[in-house]
């Protein structure tokens, strides 16, 4: 299967991978959507096969973690109203989940998920290697290229997303009102 005929766009999978407890994970709601099952069915299968999901494959979020995820990830806003705490699956957990669900769509989706995790790992390794080499060059040519090194470091750091203002804002031109005085008789 080529990248053109992939089941799920890689960007969607990348957007679903979040960092929790120092690990890159995907939440049950995202995985259910990708695997083509309901979240209820997914959790049901996980509970039936609990021995296949040790703590390094999957963990349940705390209430605080759930609130943080809902606040920071727009696509997970629907979790806010769920009375249940979501499960978070590591890369290995997503593979095991595909085996438990045992559908052709789950198998195809798991291959794409693993490829996305590997791609993200490669990007991180490339960035780390580049930073290491930059450090070595900076030590060698300290003062001469200080401005250049600072510019490169700024390019290596991901830009911060600007926070949107809260509330409803309307961009209208200001209207001037003229107050007329009443003439006295």
Percent of residues, the chain, with pLDDT higher than 70: 63
Q: Where are the domains of the chain?
A: 10-120, 127-156
pTM higher than 0.75: no
The Cα–Cα gap between 105 and 156 comes to 37
The Cα–Cα gap between 3 and 10 comes to 9
The predicted structure's pLDDT at residue 4: 42
pLDDT tens, residue by residue, 125-160: 676 677 777 677 666 666 656 666 666 666 666 656
More confident residue, 154 or 65: 65
The Cα–Cα gap between 8 and 3 comes to 10
């Amino acid at each position: 299967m080529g990248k053109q005929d992939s089941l799920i766009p890689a960007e969607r999978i990348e957007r679903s991978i979040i960092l929790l407890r120092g690990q890159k994970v995907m939440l049950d709601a995202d995985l259910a959507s990708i695997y083509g099952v309901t979240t209820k069915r997914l959790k049901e299968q996980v509970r039936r096969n609990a021995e296949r999901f040790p703590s390094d494959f999957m963990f349940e979020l705390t209430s605080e973690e759930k609130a943080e995820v809902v606040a920071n990830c727009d696509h997970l806003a629907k979790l806010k109203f769920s009375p249940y705490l979501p499960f978070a699956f590591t890369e290995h957990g997503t593979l095991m989940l595909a085996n438990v669900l045992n559908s052709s769509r789950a198998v195809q989706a798991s291959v794409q998920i693993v490829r996305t995790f590997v791609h993200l790992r490669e990007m991180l390794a490339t960035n780390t290697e580049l930073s290491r080499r930059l450090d070595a060059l900076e030590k060698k040519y300290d003062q001469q290229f200080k401005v250049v090194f600072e510019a490169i470091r700024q390019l290596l750091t991901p830009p911060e997303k600007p926070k949107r203002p809260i509330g409803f804002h309307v961009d209208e031109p200001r209207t001037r009102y003229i107050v007329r005085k009443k003439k006295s008789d």
